[in-house]
Structure formats: structure tokens, C-alpha cells
Structure 1
Amino acid sequence: MITRNEIFQHAQEKYGTSPDYPFQKFPTYAALRHASSKKWYALIMNVLPEKVGLEGTEEIDIINLKCPPEISASLRNEDNILPGYHMNKENWISVVLHRTDPEGDMYNLMEQSYDLTK
């Protein structure tokens, strides 16, 4: 399992960015943005599992990341990588944090999103 705090720490160390909370209606939704352009490269949200096609009743943390359309479909595994929630599903994926191995590809996906959104 990887946590939002671990992602925030990685973003600070690797990209020098800290989360901001742009949605008054959703005060726990955290955007990670490029320092210069303010475009976000990641958005962490807590949602009900049914919102992303999963079962369960307790909120889960997901992170939306930009992904090249030619590989986004092949990454989706219906377990921890899903079509981007509330985003263009060709270009974005949602990763379920509590189902993601911190030693896995999470930070590679995050770097890819950072590069694609420059």
C-alpha cells in the first residue's frame, strides 16, 4: 500500500512541489502542479469505490495521472489501475492507492505524468 503522504513526500523531493487543495467543495482533493505553469500532473482524491467501478462502502484514495493513450488501455487491470475518474479516459488513468505496491511502478507513472503535462 502506498499513501498520499508518501506521494506528497516524493513530489516534494523529486519535483519540488507540494499539494494544493483547489476545490472548496472537495477540501481533501489534492492537486500536484508544475511550479512554473501551474498545470497539474497528479490529482489525489478520496472517492467511494462505486464511483470508479469497484465494490465497497468506505472511501478510497485514488490518484489521477496522465498517460500516453497508446499504453493507457494496456495498463488498466481493473484491480488498481482504472480509467481516469472525471478525466479524459484515453489520456488519464486512476490508480487505487491502497492496492498499489510502493515498490511497484507508481513513481514511474507519476514521472511520466509529470513529463506529459509540462
Structure 2
Amino acid sequence: MKKEEIFEYVKKQYGTVPEYLWAQSPDNAVLRHKNGKWYAVVMTVEKSKLGLEGKDPVDIMDVKCDPDMTNMIIQTYGFLPGYHMNKQHWITILLDGSVSEAKTLDFLDMSYDLIDGAGRKEENVSGLQ
């Protein structure tokens, strides 16, 4: 899945537009939840920085992940520990075709929901009281 397709999806699904925060990395973008927190980071990095062979650049997406699932998921090809993020709570997905579009979007949606989770818990608690 290409990053442009991800940007189209999140605009349609969540009304999110990519934010380009780093002058030294103008192609790297953050996707921010309406609550202000990041739910994904889309970057281009050198393969060797991810522990992969080669110095070619590769597009990746970091997403928040349920910590109970992280260790299992990163055993699957195309998934890595979160690059430049908390490796217990974030995973990196290679955007080189090794992960299907459906799985990529599932993890993106899960990340969005996890970021939204704090607000939902408060609503649920207040609804019970």
C-alpha cells in the first residue's frame, strides 16, 4: 500500500490530513487524531535503520498497537518493532507490498481506536455512575 493511498483513506475515514512537522524530513508525516494525539507516522527510512539488509529507502508506517499483541505481530514478515517509538505500544508496518492493504488498514483503524480509547473509557465510566 502506498502512503498516498493511506492519506486518501484517513481523509475519507477520519477527516485527517497529514502534518509535515520536520524540515529535515519533509516527506515524513504525522496523522493526528481529533483529540490531538498521533495515531500514525508515515516515513521513508533507510532499510538498514530498521535492521533490514540494504541501504535503499523504504516507506513505513508506525501505528499504535495493543501491547498484548505486539510481540506476536512483529514475528510476521512486514511488521517490525516501532521505529523511533515505544516498542511495547507501537509497531512499524513496511509499505513495500509485504503487508496486504486490508491488514494495513486494519492496524491503522486499530491505532485510531486505541488513541481514542481513553475518551471512550471515560464516557463508559460516566455512563455507569
Q: How many residues were matched structurally?
A: 115
Rounded to whole Å, the distance in 2 between the matches of 1:11 and 1:72 is 23
**Which runs of structure 2 are paired with 1:8-87 in the superposition (5 Å)?**
8-35=7-34, 37-77=35-75, 79-87=77-85
Matched position secondary structure for 1:117: helix
Superposed CA deviations along residues 62-117 of structure 1, whole A, max 9, x for unmatched, are: 00000011001111135200000011100000000012222x31111001100111
Query: 1-side partners of 2:6 and 2:13: how far apart?
Result: 10
Deviating beyond 6 angstroms after TM superposition, the runs of 4 or more aligned structure 1 residues are none
Shift of 1:25: 1.8
If each structure's helix is expressed as a fraction of its own residues, which one has the higher value? 2
Instruction: Give structure 2 stretches of 5+ with no counterpart.
Output: 117-129
Match of 1:111 in 2: 109
Q: CA RMSD in A?
A: 1.1
SS where residue 9 of structure 2 aligns?
helix
TM normalised by structure 1 equals: 0.92
SS of the residue corresponding to residue 60 of structure 2 reads: strand
Percent of aligned positions that are identical: 38
User: Hey, what's the Cα distance between the residues in 2 that align with 1:21 and 1:109?
Assistant: 22
Secondary structure of 2:36 counterpart: coil
* Equivalent position SS for 2:6: helix
Amino acid at match of 2:81: P
Tell me the TM-score normalized by structure 2: 0.85
Point out which structure has higher relative CO (alpha carbons under 8 A, 6+ apart): 1
Whichever of the two has the greater Rg, that structure is: 2
